[in-house]
């Protein structure tokens, strides 16, 4: 039996595009001799459809398209993910299903059993869990078909009381097929492979796994579909961060002399870079935009954001606006000009002094002779924000936000100023990771000028200002933030690691009291295990550590 894995970049709710890609792969599989083509979880709808699932019309369109797609499966079978209706009057209204299609007909459905309801996942909000377990018989083989999370209950701390493969293995399947929508984070590739390896070894049958690829707003899917033999050895894997299609012969996969892959792992920073480039590119493509605008300050964050955007969209499509103030250093402008010339990006210099003075003069009578403070600093950032948004509106560009995770965590940013934007490119990267990414971008040639990477970071909103005036050194800050946000450690645990109690209390208080700002930020491309946004739900009006 020859099995094709179709790793596709779907578009949520774009039924015609998704249908066309699926049919093209079925035709390709038929032409190249595949017996069955396997598509990923919720392929027809795209993943995650979220509250579109509450619209009956949305689900009906998915099922109508499945019937249309089935007519193309006359010589080659297919496994296709989609939402289906639960006909039982009790329980949730839908199933997360995989349809088995052959001979032009829909022959059976397999429903997802384990419905994740943590971090970015909220599948139990919509779907009823499966309770019936049957293998699929095809070409004198028995297929144990599961959907994503169904294979993940083999970890040391299982979240569920049932394991679908324990139910299916009694029916003596010859192979496992798992269709998935497993989002990327920079630890996920290794974790995912280990989970799949455990399944192949535990049940002693080969495993064929197909994953989504592409960006869905802030969620990034890295692909990496793969095949493992019954010993849990990697036979082959598909591309990362791009569409792919490959056919495997089951007889070869199960033979004793089947070669296995032994190669170097992708580096963490390479994955982050490729994920962000894909995330920016897909965000623009799927919204129908092709040009970006950003404020280029001469600092590391805007430089990295600009470089990523140039690679994703083409340098000619990234408009850099330099917005110097009375406090900007000469090198902030010269470094920025050097960078845009390195990549051939369009740019303009718009000094904000005149506009800032106008706001100061307008507000002075109402400030009641109070001394200058952070208000005037924020006013500069908001002046820049007004200019950038005006240009965005006038020319139809998407404004890219350039804030990093360290700043977003402690509130080191100005609402309606430098926190503006339609997409946050590096909002899930700590400052120290941003420097590492800059070095990676410069791995072949100097894209980001060396002075941008080596000079002390500064917001340049007052004379001689440096980030270190307000924040601890970034290596210290980022480690405390990582332990609190990603590792969910409390203050006593972090202090026990050797950090000063007063510093830990201050940083954690800043994180919690600035939650209101993060509720108003643009979507942040997710690359970590715990990103700000849909996967982290913290109340604003809370007192804990505040």
Element holding 485 (H helix, E strand): helix 474-485
173 and 276 both lie in a single domain: no
The dihedrals phi and psi of 173, each to the nearest 5 degrees, come to: -70, 155
| 316 inside domain | yes
Are 412 and 430 contained in the same domain? Answer: yes
> Does 418 map to a domain?
yes
Give the orientation angle of helix 431-441 with respect to helix 268-287, to 10 degrees. 90
Give the orientation angle of helix 300-313 with respect to helix 268-287, to 10 degrees.
Answer: 60
Burial class (CB in 10 A: 0-12, 13-18, 19+), 536: middle
Q: Are residues 278 and 197 in the same domain?
A: no
Q: What was the pLDDT predicted at 265?
A: 78
Is 33 found in the same domain as 113? yes
216 shares a domain with 95: yes
Token pair in block for residue 199: 């399944």
Q: Does a structural domain hold residue 298?
A: yes
513: helix, strand or coil? helix
CA atoms in the 13 A half-sphere facing the CB of 168: 31
Q: How far apart are CA 135 and CA 148, in angstroms?
A: 16
Specify whether 110 is located in the same domain as 154. yes
Q: What is the pLDDT of residue 147?
A: 98
CATH number at residue 434: 3.40.50.620
Q: Say whether 148 is catalytic.
A: yes
| Residue 472 within any structural domain of the chain | no
Segments forming the whole domain that contains residue 444: 271-467
Indicate the residue among 240, 261, 282 that finishes a domain. 261
Total domain count, the chain: 2
Q: Do 368 and 245 fall into the same domain? A: no
Edge-to-edge strands, sheet with 292-295: 347-349, 318-322, 292-295, 398-401, 423-424
Q: Kindly state whether residues 257 and 374 are assigned to the same domain.
A: no
21, 112, 431, 489: the catalytic one is 112
Strands 207-210 and 213-216: unpaired
Report the C-alpha gap between 193 and 212 in whole angstroms. Answer: 15
How far apart are the C-alpha atoms of 128 and 106, rounded to whole Å?
21
Catalytic entry in 2, 148, 286, 489: 148
The 3-state secondary structure of 370-434 reads: CCCCHHHHHHHHHHHHHHHHHHHHHHCCEEEECCCHHHHHHCCCCCCCCCCCCEECCCCCCHHHH
Through-space distance between the first and last CA atoms of the chain, rounded to whole angstroms: 60
**CA-closest candidate to residue 288, choices 397, 420, 401, 424:** 397
Which CATH number do you get for residue 40?
3.60.110.10
Nearest CA among 477, 339, 502, 311 for reference residue 408: 477
* Token reading at 407: 């700043």
How far apart are alpha carbons 16 and 69 in whole angstroms?
Answer: 11
- Does residue 286 share a domain with residue 252? no
Q: Note whether 196 and 227 are within 8 A (CB).
A: no
Q: Is residue 527 part of a domain?
A: no
Residue 112 annotated in active site:
yes
> How does DSSP classify residue 127?
B
Q: Are 229 and 314 members of one domain?
A: no
Domain assignment present for residue 420? The answer is yes
Q: Which own/partner pairs from 359-365 qualify as long-range (CB within 8 Å, at least 24 positions apart)?
A: 359/383
Residue after which a domain boundary falls, among 232, 261, 290: 261
423, 523 contact by CB (below 8 A): yes
Q: Kindly state whether residues 53 and 171 are assigned to the same domain.
A: yes
Catalytic residue among 2, 41, 291, 431: 41
Report yes or no on 14 lying in a domain.
Answer: yes
Give the residue among 118, 112, 16 at the shortest CA–CA distance from 69: 16
Mean pLDDT by 10 residues, the chain (546 residues): 98 97 98 98 98 98 98 97 96 98 98 96 96 97 98 90 96 98 95 96 97 98 97 96 98 93 85 98 97 97 98 98 84 93 97 95 94 93 97 98 97 95 98 98 96 83 69 95 97 97 96 95 97 93 85
Tally of CB atoms within 10 A around 126: 21
- Is 6 within a domain? yes
Whose tokens are 């109402």? That residue is 366
Pair 222, 303 in one domain = no
Q: Which of 467, 488, 513 is the last residue of a domain?
A: 467
Tally the residues of the chain: 546
**pLDDT for the residue numbered 266:** 86
The predicted pLDDT at position 544 comes to: 87
**Torsion angles phi and psi, residue 438, rounded to 5:** -60, -45
Could you give the residue ranges of the DSSP H alpha helices within 1-146?
15-31, 56-70
CB atoms near residue 396 (< 10 Å) = 10
């Amino acid at each position: 039996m020859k099995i094709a894995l179709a790793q596709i970049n779907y578009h949520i709710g774009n039924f015609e595009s998704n249908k066309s890609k699926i049919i093209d792969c079925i035709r390709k599989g038929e032409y190249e001799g595949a017996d069955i083509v396997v598509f990923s979880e919720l392929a027809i709808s795209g993943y995650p459809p979220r509250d579109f699932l509450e619209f009956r019309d949305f689900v009906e369109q998915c099922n109508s398209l499945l019937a249309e797609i089935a007519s193309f499966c006359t010589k080659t079978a297919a496994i296709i993910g989609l939402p289906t209706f639960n006909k039982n009057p009790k329980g949730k209204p839908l199933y997360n299903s995989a349809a088995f299609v052959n001979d032009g007909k829909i022959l059976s459905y397999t429903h997802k059993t384990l419905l994740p309801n943590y971090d970015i996942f909220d599948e139990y909000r919509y779907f009823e869990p499966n309770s019936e377990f049957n293998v699929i018989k095809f070409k004198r083989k028995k297929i144990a078909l599961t959907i994503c999370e169904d294979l993940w209950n083999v970890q040391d701390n299982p979240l569920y009381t049932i394991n679908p493969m324990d139910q299916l293995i009694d029916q003596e399947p010859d192979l496992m097929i798992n269709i998935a929508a497993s989002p990327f984070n920079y630890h996920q590739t290794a974790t995912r492979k280990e989970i799949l390896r455990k399944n192949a070894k535990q049940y002693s049958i080969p495993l064929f796994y197909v994953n989504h690829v592409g960006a869905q707003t802030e969620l990034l899917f890295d692909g990496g579909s793969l095949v493992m033999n019954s010993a849990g050895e990697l036979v082959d894997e598909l591309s990362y961060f791009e569409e792919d299609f490959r056919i495997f012969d089951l007889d070869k996969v199960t033979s004793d002399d089947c070669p296995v892959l032994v190669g170097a792992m992708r580096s963490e920073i390479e994955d982050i870079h490729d994920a962000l480039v894909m995330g920016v590119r897909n965000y623009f493509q799927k919204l129908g935009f092709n040009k970006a605008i950003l404020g280029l300050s001469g600092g590391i964050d805007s430089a990295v954001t600009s470089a990523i955007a140039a690679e994703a969209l083409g340098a000619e499509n990234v408009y850099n606006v330099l917005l110097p103030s009375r406090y900007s250093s000469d090198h902030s402008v010269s470094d920025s000009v050097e960078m845009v010339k390195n990549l051939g990006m369009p740019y303009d210099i718009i000094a904000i002094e005149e506009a800032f003075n106008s706001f100061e003069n307008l507000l002075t009578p109402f400030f009641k002779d109070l001394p200058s403070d952070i208000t005037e600093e924020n006013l500069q950032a908001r002046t820049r924000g007004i200019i950038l948004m005006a240009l965005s509106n006038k020319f139809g560009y998407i404004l890219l936000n350039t804030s990093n995770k360290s700043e977003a965590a402690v509130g080191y940013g100005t609402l309606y100023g430098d926190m503006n934007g339609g997409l946050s490119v590096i909002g899930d990267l700590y400052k120290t990771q941003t420097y590492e990414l800059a070095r990676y971008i410069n791995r072949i040639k100097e894209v980001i000028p060396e002075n941008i990477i080596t000079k002390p970071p500064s917001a340049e909103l007052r004379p001689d200002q440096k980030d270190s005036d307000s924040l601890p050194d970034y290596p210290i800050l980022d480690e405390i933030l990582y332990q609190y946000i990603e590792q969910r450690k409390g203050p006593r645990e972090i202090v026990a690691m050797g950090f000063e109690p007063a510093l830990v209390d201050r940083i954690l208080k800043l994180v919690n009291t600035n939650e209101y700002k993060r509720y108003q930020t643009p979507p942040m491309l997710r690359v970590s295990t715990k990103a700000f946004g849909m996967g982290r739900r913290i109340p604003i009006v809370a007192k804990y550590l505040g």
